[in-house]
Amino acid sequence: MPTLCNLVVDLSAVPLDSSGVRAEVAGDRTLAWIDETFSGTWSCEAAAGVNVVARRQDAPIGFATLDARALKFRWLNGLARERDVGLFGPFGVVREERKTGLGVFILRQALQALRERGYARALIPAVSGERLIRYYADSVGAVVAEEFDRAALLAPQPRTLVMASGNGSNFQAVVDASSNGNLPIEVVALVSNDAGAYAIQRARAAGVAAVHVVAWRRGEETRAQYDERLLEAVRFEAPDLVLLLGWMHLLSDAFVAAFPEMLNLHPAFLPLDPNCDDVGLPDGTRIPAFRGPRAVHDALAAGSRWAGATVHRVTPATDRGPVLARKPLPVEPQEEEAHLMERIHAVERDLVKGAIVRWLFERPYPQPEPTLR
């Protein structure tokens, strides 16, 4: 795996620009545009800081985040902690504008804003590839200050248990990515609450070591008894990470407390603020936050022009945990639910993998030591 580099910029050497673009707190429209245009994890990072945003006819065409101090990535434990160092990134420009000089303009505006905030240096973290390192060096004089082995940042591989109630296409995508080395997790078990779920056949075909069918025997046991049986089945596998990929059963508070490292995939574009009951979209409109088990059906019934997908941490409040990754998806005219679900599944597969990688980079394991330059 490639090396990740933390670059440092001497802010006193960055050319000043009097164009007057100011750093701002990004609104919902800008954050949703970031998710639609770039990585589905970037809006969470952008919301943690302030942003320089370039627009054309009021539509965003590029952005850079600065001073996102709440981030917990494993490469932010060295120079990033020094008081005179300001954080830069993420940073993105729409494809059509990438050879116009807009990127360098936004980069310099963001660094100037860090300088105005009293920082002497800027850290540009987790840069990979000689071409991108050279871009920052040529544009603002950035130099490599720390190097990390990407494999070490992702280690150790967590014992991962997946819970799925249906077809299991996202489970299959995770298993495949794990098997071919693109996702450094060990899938040790599948738990399903439906003996007829196709996810079970997928798990057995993939050679997953343990497959548990834990169905609620409604005529024989109470809900509390079932919840306890489910808890024990998952606890037996001692997972480091639990993934809910199409799990159609509300989990008890005791279950959520037992597995704090648990992520849920939800077929709707959820707000970053867990207390909000609506969410802004890239076109400036707002729709309800379609939580609950019938999110896609509810979106179509409400005449929503947008759907999407979100991966979030699981908390006792249903579908209100901190967001790790999300993507909005426009609804086509007169689209049927089955067709929309198929398109959402295509979005979900990459989104789930991106969210897991982000979780891996944020884990509170002992931090790998950087190589200093």
* C-alpha 323: how far from chain center: 7
**Cβ atoms of 345 and 170 closer than 8 Å:** yes
Arithmetic mean of pLDDT over the chain = 95
**Cβ atoms of 79 and 142 closer than 8 Å:** no
CA atoms 174, 176, 178, 183: torsion sign: negative
Let me know the angle formed at the C-alpha of 60 by 57 and 62, rounded to the nearest 5 degrees. 125
Percent of the chain with pLDDT over 70: 98
* C-alpha 302: how far from chain center: 27
How far lies 119's CA from each of 9, 78, 80, 188, in Å? Answer: 11, 16, 12, 46
| E strand segments, 193-322 | 210-213, 241-244, 262-266, 278-280, 286-288, 306-313
The residue that leads in pLDDT, 196 or 15, is: 196
Residue 5 forms beta bridges with which residues?
Answer: 127, 147
Q: In order of start, what are the domains of the chain with their CATH numbers?
A: 3-152 (3.40.630.30), 154-362 (3.40.50.170)
- The interaxial angle of helices 198-205 and 169-179, nearest 10 deg, is 10
* pLDDT of the residue at 16: 74
Ranges of H-type helices in the chain: 28-37, 42-47, 102-116, 130-140, 150-154, 169-179, 198-205, 223-236, 253-258, 295-301, 337-362
* pLDDT of 300 strictly over 70: yes
* pLDDT of the residue at 17: 72
- And the tokens for 17? 């620009």
Instruction: Return the minimum-mean-pLDDT range out of 17-31, 69-83, 249-263.
Output: 17-31
* pLDDT of the residue at 20: 64
Distance, in Å, from the CA atom of 293 to the CA atom of 287, rounded to the nearest integer, reads 17
Q: For residues 294, 298, 300 and 301, what is the CA-based torsion angle, rounded to 10 degrees? A: 130
Q: For residues 217, 223, 226 and 227, what is the CA-based torsion angle, rounded to 10 degrees? A: 150
- What would the pLDDT profile of 92-114 be if each residue is shown by its tens digit? 999 999 999 999 999 999 999 99
* pLDDT of 18 strictly over 70: no
Average pLDDT over residues 237-243: 98
Average pLDDT over residues 135-162: 96
* b/e sequence 176-211, b meaning 16+ C-beta within 10 Å: ebbeeeebbbebbbbbbbbeebbbbebbeebebeee
* pLDDT of the residue at 141: 96
Average pLDDT over residues 163-173: 97
* pLDDT of 10 strictly over 60: yes
Burial, 286: exposed, middle or buried (Cβ in 10 Å; 0-12, 13-18, 19+)? Answer: middle
Average pLDDT over residues 337-366: 95
Residues 6+ apart with CB under 8 A from 340: 296, 300, 307, 331, 332
* pLDDT of 1 strictly over 90: no
Residue 189 forms beta bridges with which residues?
Answer: 161, 210
- And the tokens for 229? 């049986």
pTM equals: 0.96
**Cβ atoms of 203 and 190 closer than 8 Å:** yes
- What would the pLDDT profile of 113-146 be if each residue is shown by its tens digit? 999 999 999 999 999 999 999 999 999 999 999 9
